[in-house]
Structure 1
Amino acid sequence: MIQYILLALTGAFAGTLGGLFGIGGGVVIVPVLYLVFIQGGADPEVAMKTAVGTSLATIIVTSARSLRAHHKRGAVDFGVLKRWGPFIALGALLGAGLARVISGDVLLAFFAIGIFGIAIQRLRGQRGVRKTITMSPLAQRGAATATGLVSSLMGIGGGVIGVILLTAQGKTIHQAVATAAGFGMAIAIPGSLGFMLAGWGQAALPGAIGFVHLPGFLAVALGTVLFAPLGARLAHSLSAERLSKVFGVYLLVTGVLLVREAFFV
């Protein structure tokens, strides 16, 4: 019971982050799920893959709630979602397929270094001249596919990468956060189904379908459903400058958690 209360509280925190930053909260959820599964006697490799798969399933709920809340404020660019969504979903399926044969440790380490660099840039605020990057349609498809693949392997909703890509192309931080919330849907639905299939027939945890743990999903989803709209309200109550800096702080924390997953989990 204590474990499920912990998961529900984790879902509440992740849901708030999802609404605030347009993320799925996986970087918070995965370590907690992993710890709970390990304490229950699970094999570390199965525990990690099940934590990632279960996290992706919870992101379906978080992203849906967050996207709806941002849409009410007219901040979501559905044109971007229509163009990028299919390629993000393709990347998520590829990531789920690779989950059986590849270790994400090196990927996590390099990604963490990149996150630290972007966090420093965000914390500097509006100082200096910012250049807007123009991407060709082919480059956008490649970036979308890579976003889905990396996010699926890590069990996150793609908001961290999505906000960086969208702001680099001239979107305001509010538009980027709102639109990136939709990336989570494109990643989480095919990604979680892929992890179910990837773990099918393997030594699954009790209560799990493949690499998706249903009781863990329900406990975390309860918190995300209730708290994602709160995060969206907080996002729109902050100025663009302040939200950018808050996002920088979040990225620093994300980087630390990714380094922990890469080297110490």
Structure 2
Amino acid sequence: MDIELLLLLLALGSVVGVMAGLLGIGGGLIVVPALLYLLPKSGISVDITMQLALATSLATIIVTSGSSAINHLKLGNVDMFVVKWLMPGVVVGGFAGTYVAEWIPSQYLPKVFGVIVLCLALQMLLSIKSQAQKAMPSNVVTSLYGTGIGVISSLAGIGGGSLSVPFLSKHGVEMRKAVGSSSVCGFFIAISGMTGFILHGSKVAELPQYSVGYVYLPALTAIAATSMLTTRVGAKLATSLPTKALKKIFAVFLMFVAGTMLL
């Protein structure tokens, strides 16, 4: 890893940290595309770049979502009842997603997820004008939703904020608490997903040096080093910005990501 790549990864971590604190995302929607572009430039085979990007992204999310969750807990932005019933599903789904990734061609995943993200962005924009909200589903149904969020999140190397925040917001959870609760859930999605990718990667012989399974430690260290410092900035912004402004920011961000994945 040369100095230029290291500086790019440090800058990437700074952006990821702010987005994690502000929008409740673990940063995977930024990290995965960035690593897919950067890792081949450091001599890593393109045959395993997708797996490395997903696993390393989930590993960084442990740091960013963990740091973001702590900040939101201190600010009172976490709905513990919601977390209690989403948690079992997201953990199981996060681990199961790594097995699904073994047999789905990786080139199809960004396009499938891009369609989902686009739908979520449109739903978020429509909800700004609409005051109608649904009540939270039953505890079992909420856990099943969590399982789906976990599977898709693990397949895309994200913390699930792009899925859980719109879901919680639609069901009447105040935006700040939806963001904070998403950070907590994203932390556990990342742990279960990363564990699965480490187990699968341990069977692969042609991994780059300093890898633990599919987790590439140099990239993880560089991104985590700066993202930990900037999550508090995003968390403070999430507390001070009005709910409608947060929804607009989040929807625009999702549309950008969807366009990138589809193209």
Instruction: Say whether the fold is shared (TM-score over 0.5).
Output: yes
Q: In structure 2, what is the equivalent of residue 254 of structure 1?
A: 257
The answer to whether the Cα contact below 8 Å between 1:87 and 1:144 also exists between their aligned partners in 2 is yes
Q: Equivalent residues in 2 for 1:83-162 (5 A)?
A: 83-124=85-126, 126-162=128-164
Shift of 1:72: 1.2
Q: Equivalent residues in 2 for 1:1-265 (5 A)?
A: 1-124=3-126, 126-202=128-204, 203-260=206-263
The answer to whether the Cα contact below 8 Å between 1:86 and 1:186 also exists between their aligned partners in 2 is no
Shift of 1:40: 2.2
Q: In structure 2, what is the equivalent of residue 263 of structure 1?
A: none
**CA deviation map 1:52-96 (0-9, x unaligned):** 100000000001110111111111012222222122111111112
Q: Which amino acid aligns with 1:116?
A: L
Q: Which amino acid aligns with 2:261?
A: L
Q: Which amino acid aligns with 1:17?
A: M
Shift of 1:133: 4.6
The answer to whether the Cα contact below 8 Å between 2:124 and 2:166 also exists between their aligned partners in 1 is no
For residues 164 and 104 of structure 1, the distance between their equivalents in structure 2, rounded to whole angstroms, comes to 26
TM-score by length of 2: 0.93
For residues 197 and 32 of structure 1, the distance between their equivalents in structure 2, rounded to whole angstroms, comes to 24
The answer to whether the Cα contact below 8 Å between 2:79 and 2:177 also exists between their aligned partners in 1 is yes
| Unaligned residue ranges in structure 2 (runs of 5+) | none
The answer to whether the Cα contact below 8 Å between 1:16 and 1:228 also exists between their aligned partners in 2 is yes
For residues 167 and 160 of structure 2, the distance between their equivalents in structure 1, rounded to whole angstroms, comes to 11
Segment of structure 1 superposing worse, 82-91 or 220-229: 82-91
Segment of structure 1 superposing worse, 135-144 or 63-72: 135-144
The answer to whether the Cα contact below 8 Å between 2:36 and 2:53 also exists between their aligned partners in 1 is yes
For residues 158 and 118 of structure 1, the distance between their equivalents in structure 2, rounded to whole angstroms, comes to 12
**CA deviation map 1:110-148 (0-9, x unaligned):** 332232233234335632342315422232121111111
For residues 231 and 198 of structure 1, the distance between their equivalents in structure 2, rounded to whole angstroms, comes to 34
Q: Superposition RMSD on alpha carbons, in Å?
A: 1.6
The answer to whether the Cα contact below 8 Å between 1:24 and 1:158 also exists between their aligned partners in 2 is yes
TM-score by length of 1: 0.92
Q: What percent of counterpart residues are identical? A: 34
The answer to whether the Cα contact below 8 Å between 2:55 and 2:215 also exists between their aligned partners in 1 is yes
Shift of 1:178: 0.8
Secondary structure of the 1:45 match is coil
Aligned length: 260
Secondary structure of the 1:166 match is helix
For residues 223 and 99 of structure 2, the distance between their equivalents in structure 1, rounded to whole angstroms, comes to 24
Segment of structure 1 superposing worse, 168-177 or 201-210: 201-210
Shift of 1:107: 4.3
